[in-house]
């Protein structure tokens, strides 16, 4: 493995098809845990996700010589939702995620996250979670307890992480659990990745320059044009796109009647985003 690959390249190179065993760490930080996973699971493909360039740079320095480790700049839900094939992952680790004090609704583990675990973990696949925030642990445990798709195993932590050492040294208690996906359950929803998008634009230039603030809302989708810029390159749009509880910022460039989606983070253009573009620009 060399460098940090984009989610688009994960699909283009069909990396998921090259091995039947896969482990994912969401929020890999400096990569220390990935090294432990690589050593303990030599016949697995190990995925490390993070959205921080600084963290990925550190992780790369630790893992650059590990052939079974791939680093990807991506948000966890986005990777599970649009990039991971169904029933592919053997293990998923989420260790000491941001608890978002005062903004708990932004925590990654929610009912939708459980749906994504259900659709991407193999039967009998495992999810590992650790935190130093008791109410976060309690909430996560209750979510899994209410689900019919998992069996809970408390107090399981397969490896010893940097954050766990840090909190224990400070005298703070940590909380861990593991859940096992029930064997034969199959989620009715499947998530696909769409790399095509409408290229032709039928609107006049005056109309295109006055789309700032335009919003599209449905039950699951939110799309808004934040800013519009005109330059010699064309008309540039800064937008935000959300699907349920995951999303990203996106840039669009229109030049000579054609639209181009510029890669910002995930470089993946899912069906709801494509449909939003059709509604606005076609």
Q: Give the orientation angle of helix 134-146 with respect to helix 111-120, to 10 degrees.
A: 60
Question: Which of 12, 50, 90, 98 is labelled catalytic?
Answer: 98
Q: How many Å apart are CA 10 and CA 186, to the nearest integer?
A: 24
Q: Give the orientation angle of helix 32-40 with respect to helix 53-63, to 10 degrees.
A: 40
Angle at 177 between CA 173 and CA 183, to 5 degrees: 180
Nearest to 268, CA basis, from 199, 193, 198, 197: 193
User: Active site includes 135?
Assistant: no
Nearest to 139, CA basis, from 125, 126, 129: 129
Q: How many Å apart are CA 44 and CA 122, to the nearest integer?
A: 14
Give the 3-state secondary structure of residue 172.
coil
Q: Which whole-number Å values give the CA distances from 103 to 65, 107, 240, in the listed order? A: 38, 8, 20
Give me the active site residues, please.
Answer: 98
């Amino acid at each position: 493995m060399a460098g940090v690959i984009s989610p688009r390249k994960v699909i283009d190179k069909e990396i998921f098809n090259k091995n039947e065993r896969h482990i994912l760490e969401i929020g890999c930080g400096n990569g220390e845990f990935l090294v432990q996973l690589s050593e303990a699971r030599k016949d697995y493909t190990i995925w490390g996700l993070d959205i921080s360039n600084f963290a990925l740079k550190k992780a790369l320095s630790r893992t650059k010589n590990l052939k079974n480790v791939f680093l990807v700049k991506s948000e966890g839900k986005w990777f599970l939702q649009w990039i991971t094939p169904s029933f592919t992952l053997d293990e998923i680790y989420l260790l000491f995620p941001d608890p978002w004090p005062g903004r708990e609704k932004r925590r990654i583990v929610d009912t939708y996250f459980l749906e994504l675990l259900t659709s991407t973990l193999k039967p009998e696949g495992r999810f590992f979670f650790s935190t130093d925030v008791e109410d976060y642990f309690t909430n996560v445990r209750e979510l899994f307890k209410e689900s019919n798709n998992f069996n809970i195993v408390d107090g399981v932590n397969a490896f010893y992480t940097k954050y766990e050492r840090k909190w224990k040294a400070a005298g703070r208690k940590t909380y861990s659990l593991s859940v096992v996906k029930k064997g034969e359950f199959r989620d009715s929803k499947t998530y696909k990745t769409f790399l095509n998008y409408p290229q032709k634009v039928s609107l006049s230039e005056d109309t295109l320059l006055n789309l700032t603030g335009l919003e599209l809302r449905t039950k699951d989708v939110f799309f808004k044009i934040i800013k519009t810029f005109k330059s010699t390159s064309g008309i540039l749009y800064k937008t935000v796109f959300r699907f349920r509880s995951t999303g990203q910022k996106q840039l669009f460039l229109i030049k000579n009647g054609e639209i181009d989606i510029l890669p910002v983070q995930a470089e993946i253009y899912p069906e709801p985003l494509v449909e939003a573009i059709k509604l606005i620009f076609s």
